[in-house]
Structures are given as C-alpha cells and as structure tokens.
A and B are shown apart, each in its own frame.
Chain A
Amino acid sequence: DAGITQSPRHKVTETGTPVTLRCHQTENHRYMYWYRQDPGHGLRLIHYSYGVKDTDKGEVSDGYSVSRSKTEDFLLTLESATSSQTSVYFCAISATGLAGGPGNIQYFGAGTRLSVL
C-alpha cells in the first residue's frame, strides 16, 4: 500500500461521539488526501493537505475536520459522528499536485471501515 498505514481498519461507534482516523505515510510525500467511498457515489474528496499545517476542503467536507502537524501524519476527525458518515474512508498520498510526470499519481491506503450506529 505504498507506505501508507490507516488506523483503525474497522470501527463501530455511536451517533454523537467523536471519532479520529489516522493516516501515516513513510514516503515523505507533500500531498495527503482523505476520501470516502459509498455505493452509488464512488470516491469523493473530503479534505486534503499540501504541507504541514496546510489543509483545505474537498467536495464533502461538512462534519469533518483535519489536522497535519507532521509530514507523515494526517488525521481526520468526525466531531460528532452521524449515521450518514458510515462509510469506508481512504487516505491517499502524492508527491506533487498538478506537476507533470508520475509525481501527481495518488496512492491509496487500505481504508478504514466506519459504522455509526
């Protein structure tokens, strides 16, 4: 999985509780991304980071926050989990954003399956 570790791999939680998912990379890549994958919607970008403490919103960011205090770690937090956030969450990394060549290829982790009851 291209030096990407997501934890936990599975989590069941209750509505209203806070949840933090972790993505750890060993590639020293600048860009990191959080996606969610749902049937009928494909992969959708939640938030991304283009450097330490540099983050921005994706297309489905409501209800999520992120933090990146070190190059290797990108955290996704659900402040108060809702049933609509039941999903599979994927972290991805890339060396560059839009620069040419293979650097803009995004590599994905194995995912975290989250169930909010």
Chain B
Amino acid sequence: EDQVTQSPEALRLQEGESSSLNCSYTVSGLRGLFWYRQDPGKGPEFLFTLYSAGEEKEKERLKATLTKKESFLHITAPKPEDSATYLCAVQAKAGGTSYGKLTFGQGTILTVHP
C-alpha cells in the first residue's frame, strides 16, 4: 500500500530563517510526487511535480528535491505570506487503474513570524 509521511507536523520560523520540510514515501513504482500549498479555508494549490530521483524544481523561495525515498521542500528566507499547510502526494505507476490516484500525506503546517 502506498504511504506518505510528512514531517514535522508543524514548523514555526522567524522571517528569513530558512528550513526544510520532509516527505517520506513508499510506493509501488513512483509515477510522480506532487507538492501543494493549502491556505486556511481554501483548496490545495499546485506547486511542483517531480518525476525522478535527482530532479529539482524552484519557484520563488521554494525548492523541491526528490530522492528514491523522500522529497524535501526547502524554504529560503521565508516571509509571513509563506505561512500555509504544505501537502505532499505521490502517484504510483499503473496498477490496474488509469485514473492517477494520489496518496496524500497529512501535511506540515508552516508559520512564519515577522
């Protein structure tokens, strides 16, 4: 069974204090790993997709990396507006289905204080 574990559950940072969020996964053949951002009362917002180990993607202060067992979301010099819940999800290769099931972790709640 596919499994995704995110750590820490919550992270408090001072503005400008860089850190990383972790997403560990087990999946029967990784098709893609997805990072989403979710603000309170809103739906998840897509950030990145990573497809193979060694791949990296960046967007503003965020950088996502992927190994064969985990992904990191690095946040450089965060600002208060980066405060949100960050969700990680994996999509397995076809296993009799074609709909692209996503298995989500429970998320990391990031709070950045000014």
Residues of A within 8 A of B (CB): 1, 4, 31, 33, 40-45, 48, 50, 56, 58, 90, 94, 96-98, 100, 102, 104-111
Contact = CB atoms under 8 A, between A and B. Distances in A.
Contacts of A90: 43-44
A41 B100 contact: no
Contact of A42 (B43, B49, B93, B104): B104
Interface string B1-39: 000000000000000000000000000000110101000
20 contacts: A4-B43, A31-B100, A41-B106, A42-B87, A42-B105, A42-B107, A45-B102, A50-B98, A56-B99, A58-B101, A94-B100, A97-B98, A98-B31, A102-B49, A104-B32, A104-B91, A105-B49, A106-B46, A107-B46, A111-B42
Given A44-B104, A50-B98, 4 more contacts: A31-B100, A42-B87, A109-B43, A111-B42
Given A56-B99, A104-B100, A110 B42 contact: yes
Interface residues of B, number: 27
Given A31-B99, A97-B98, A98-B31, A43 B44 contact: yes
Contact of A43 (B91, B93, B99, B104): B104
